[in-house]
A and B are shown apart, each in its own frame.
Chain A
Amino acid sequence: MNGRHLAIALAVAALAAPFVLEGNRFLAFVFGIVMINLLWASGMNLLYGFVGLMPLMFAGIAGIAAYAMVALTREAGWSFWLATPVAAVGAAFVGVLLGLPSLRLKGFYFTLCSLVIQSVLTLAFTFFPRFTNGDTGLNQIEPPAWGGVQLAGVWFDATLSVVAVVGVLLAAWIVQTRLGQRFIAIREDDVLAEVMGIDVVRNRIIAFFIVSLYAAVGGCFYASYVGFISPRSFDVLTSLGIWLCVAFGGRGTIIGPIIGTVILAPIPYLLQELQAFKDVLSGVLIIVVTLVMPAGIHGEIMRRRSLRRAAAPPTVSAAEAVSSNGGAR
């Protein structure tokens, strides 16, 4: 089965699932959440997996868009379908503005800077209750309407499937364009990329803008799907959860974040009774990913496969396995 067949199979599965799960409202809801997380993870992957930056303010940008969308629909009376793109582009611009100073940094320093920005955004959501209602949060957010009828049940789930599939396909398309090739060159060695004629800061800003759009669109759908948002919906733990989906599944590949999201995103909901255990589990997973599988599940599968191939005729592929492991860092 090649990549194209796999993509079609997964897309069909995603679009069919809401109808299969229709009988079980809870599982269907968890599925919808997984689709939103899939959109988020494929966006996060563009920056973390392909440009090499870990944006911990990801959830904060989603939050800006979600609050803006609610304000626009409630106070200005806009439709969800107009408010979402406007809020998303606005939030992405705010994200780029906030990120501008940090986009000159790389690696750990960028991550640290994004953590600070995320913390500031969480505080802002809490202490400027005019639009956010502070810690109490906003509830009874209306679901989007489609031709006068509010989206509900299976049709809302299916809408989320479409959004996620489009998001993944868009990411898959971006990474094989010249823009995506520039991202990869920057990830591999930003100094060399610059000497090879690539405007590193400019391309990072473009990437960051695209990724912010993913975060923001996901945030708007999250708000209207769950119907309730508070500063906790968009805190650093949310960012880390999305990051974990990408890192656990396999950064820098299209399939990796899908694997990671499908495995990890349902856990908080399925283990709702075991709140404490859930946090311990995600902590353990972060350690496992960092120590045992730096390239994620997908990377690990690829590594074993190439090791097995290397064991048969001793050729270059052993070196390939070593370098793909080292390249993951």
Chain B
Amino acid sequence: MSLLQVDGISRHFGGVTALRNVDVRMREGETLGMIGPNGSGKTTFVNIVTGHLVPDGGRLLFKGTSIAGAAPHHLAALGLTRTYQAVRVFGGLSVRKNIEAALLLGLSGAPAAAEQDELVHWLRLDHRLSSPAGSLTLFEQRRLELLMRLLQRPSLIMLDEPVGGLAVTEVREMIALLQELKARCSIFVIEHTMRVIRELADRVVVLMAGEKIADGPPADILRDKRVVEQYLGTAHA
């Protein structure tokens, strides 16, 4: 059984087709990358899977049950969560309050205090607990985002450009963090930075103008003639 099974998803915005008949499957424990030019429908795809948008047609299964039309808060309880391209934390609240907000979900298997501390320490936020989340650096905010998700023990986390806006050294650190994250949950990641895809993804899906044009291991995909021509360009190849 796939962890996530997306069959023939389509979505139109007025006359514009954002997604056409896209199929994606993910196994438990797999890290799946999604790449494609701007406007190819990547974020729309995540918005549909995480309940922010309703698809025009198609089937959505998470852990074997249909999640079409389920609200995001419902999906969070099922273990499907996401981050945003533009970082999103409760900026006016302290880091500690952000953590408490994440724990409001009240799962029966919520991490005990010791494990919470371990996560905080791993993401190097221990010295920031009383700072307002809005005063943190972008990289710290990205780590706080991950922390808040992990406290809810997701089975699948969908990351929308997790290294967007980060400095080169920070990108390296983030990739290392995400490598370790792979042991904790399945990851779906949208990225433009090919390093992230190359080093993290077990498999890559390529979207182009709302259609899936390739699906396979990163090494093959990054050599695929169509992908190179239409997306990567010769500079990357």
Interface residues in chain A, defined as those with a beta carbon under 8 Å from any beta carbon in chain B: 178, 181-182, 184-185, 188-189, 191-200, 316, 319-320, 322-324, 326-327
| A/B interface sample: 19 pairs, CB < 8 A | A184-B97, A185-B104, A188-B90, A189-B88, A192-B89, A192-B90, A194-B72, A194-B73, A194-B76, A195-B72, A195-B76, A196-B73, A196-B104, A196-B152, A197-B77, A198-B104, A323-B91, A324-B92, A326-B92
Given A188-B93, A194-B71, 4 new contacts (CB under 8 A): A185-B90, A189-B89, A197-B76, A324-B92
Partner of A197 from B88, B91, B152 at Cβ < 8 Å = B152
Closest to A187 in B: B92
Q: Decide if A327 touches B91 in the complex (CB within 8 Å).
A: yes
Closest to A184 in B: B93
Q: Decide if B90 touches A189 in the complex (CB within 8 Å).
A: yes
Q: Decide if B76 touches A323 in the complex (CB within 8 Å).
A: no
Q: Decide if A181 touches B101 in the complex (CB within 8 Å).
A: yes
CA gap between A182 and B74 in the complex, in Å: 15
Q: How far is the CB of B182 from chain A (nearest CB, A)?
A: 21
Main secondary structure of the interface of A (DSSP, over half): helix
Q: Decide if B105 touches A323 in the complex (CB within 8 Å).
A: no
Q: Is B185 at the interface (CB under 8 A from chain A)?
A: no
Q: How large is the interface on B (under 10, 10 to 19, 20 to 34, 35 or more residues)?
A: 20 to 34
- Which interface residue of A185, A191, A200, A326 has the most chain B CB atoms within 10 A? A185
Taking CB atoms, residues of chain A closer than 8 Å to B71 are 194, 199
In residues 132-147 of chain B, which contact A (Cβ within 8 Å)?
132, 134-135
Q: Decide if B91 touches A188 in the complex (CB within 8 Å).
A: yes
Taking CB atoms, residues of chain A closer than 8 Å to B196 are none
Taking CB atoms, residues of chain B closer than 8 Å to A320 are 131-132, 135
Contact (A326, B134) CB under 8 Å given A197-B77, A199-B71? yes
Q: Is B82 at the interface (CB under 8 A from chain A)?
A: yes
Q: Is B222 at the interface (CB under 8 A from chain A)?
A: no
CA gap between A178 and B148 in the complex, in Å: 17
Give per-residue flags for B184-199: 1 if the beta carbon is below 8 A from chain A beta carbons, else 0: 0000000000000000
CA gap between A195 and B168 in the complex, in Å: 29
CA gap between A323 and B132 in the complex, in Å: 7
Taking CB atoms, residues of chain A closer than 8 Å to B106 are 178
Taking CB atoms, residues of chain B closer than 8 Å to A184 are 93, 97, 101
3 interchain residue pairs of minimum CB distance: A327-B92, A197-B76, A197-B105
CA gap between A193 and B97 in the complex, in Å: 13
Taking CB atoms, residues of chain B closer than 8 Å to A191 are 88
Taking CB atoms, residues of chain A closer than 8 Å to B92 are 188, 323-324, 326-327
Contact (A192, B88) CB under 8 Å given A320-B132, A323-B134? yes
Q: How far is the CB of A246 from chain B (nearest CB, A)?
A: 18
Contact (A196, B88) CB under 8 Å given A185-B101, A323-B132, A327-B134? no
Taking CB atoms, residues of chain A closer than 8 Å to B152 are 196-197
Taking CB atoms, residues of chain A closer than 8 Å to B81 are 195
Give per-residue flags for B50-93: 1 if the beta carbon is below 8 A from chain A beta carbons, else 0: 10000000000000000000011110110001100000111111
